[in-house]
């Protein structure tokens, strides 16, 4: 199947109602593939898709690529966010002010030296995995920050706690898949903060949809580059 446009998104009321009783086949892609305007992918039920959308158009989590009104079947995109390292700063309140300040400066220096993008909210620092988890763990353990604890959680669990602009900032574009030396790619978060955050509700893999080309208006998104 050749996919030249996106029909809509499962978050839109009309599509949510339409898909409520439909059989849904998921096309799972990663954040790097979501940045491409042309790629091939096989769905969970084995349907082969060739995606060829306009340049500058980015596939979003929950996008509907195929809809068979007669068979009540659809193919919907599912995009997985990378994990996020959460650094908890609440323990700093137990330290003397000068020690707490010095620790914060050292933490900021360590993260900046590694070129890690970060978002600070309340007493928490959110850091998307820009390198392998083992590398980030090694860096944090090397500095042995006093009373600072950290953990890794799935990106989807983080987004509900963030405002739309915070989601865009945390998961804004980068240059490629994650590995141990370069920044990974994060798919764009649109102006609503929804694009790659929440998983499609009530979406499960069922039987495949019919095969035909669609020409509905494409939905557009945006991403920015973050480079070393």
Report yes or no: 136 and 127 within 8 Å, Cβ to Cβ: yes
Domains of the chain: 2-79 (2.60.260.20), 83-170 (3.30.70)
**Strands 23-29, 8-9: parallel, antiparallel or unpaired by DSSP?**
unpaired
Determine the pLDDT at residue 61: 83
Edge-to-edge strands, sheet with 149-154: 119-121, 124-128, 83-88, 149-154
Ramachandran sector of residue 91 (left: φ over 0; alpha: ψ -120 to 50; beta: rest) = alpha
Determine the pLDDT at residue 39: 93
Determine the pLDDT at residue 164: 66
Mean pLDDT for the chain overall: 77
Query: pLDDT, tens digit, for every residue of 95-137?
Result: 999 999 999 999 999 999 999 989 999 899 999 988 889 999 9
219 has a pLDDT exceeding 60 = no
Query: pLDDT, tens digit, for every residue of 90-100?
Result: 999 999 999 99
Taking residues 68-82, report their average pLDDT. 90
pTM for this structure? 0.54
């Amino acid at each position: 199947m050749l996919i030249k446009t996106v029909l809509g998104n499962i978050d839109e009321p009309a599509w949510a109602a339409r898909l409520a009783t439909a059989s849904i086949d998921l096309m799972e892609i990663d954040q790097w593939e979501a940045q491409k305007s042309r790629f091939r992918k096989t769905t969970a039920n084995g349907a082969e898709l060739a995606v060829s959308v306009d340049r500058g158009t980015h596939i979003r989590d929950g996008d509907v690529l195929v809809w068979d009104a007669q068979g009540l079947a659809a193919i919907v995109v599912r995009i997985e966010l990378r994990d996020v390292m959460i650094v908890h700063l609440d323990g700093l309140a137990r330290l003397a002010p000068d020690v707490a300040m010095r620790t914060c400066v050292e933490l900021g220096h360590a993260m900046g030296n590694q070129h890690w993008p970060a978002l600070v909210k309340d007493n928490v620092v959110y850091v998307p995995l820009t390198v392998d988890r083992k590398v980030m763990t090694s860096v944090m353990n090397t500095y042995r920050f006093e009373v600072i604890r950290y953990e890794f959680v799935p990106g989807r669990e983080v987004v509900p706690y963030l405002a739309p602009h915070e989601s865009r900032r945390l998961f804004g574009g980068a240059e490629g898949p994650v590995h141990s030396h370069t920044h990974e790619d994060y798919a764009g978060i649109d102006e609503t903060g929804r694009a790659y955050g929440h998983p499609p509700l009530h979406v499960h893999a069922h039987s495949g949809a019919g095969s035909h080309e669609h020409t509905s208006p494409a939905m557009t998104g945006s991403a920015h580059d973050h480079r070393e």
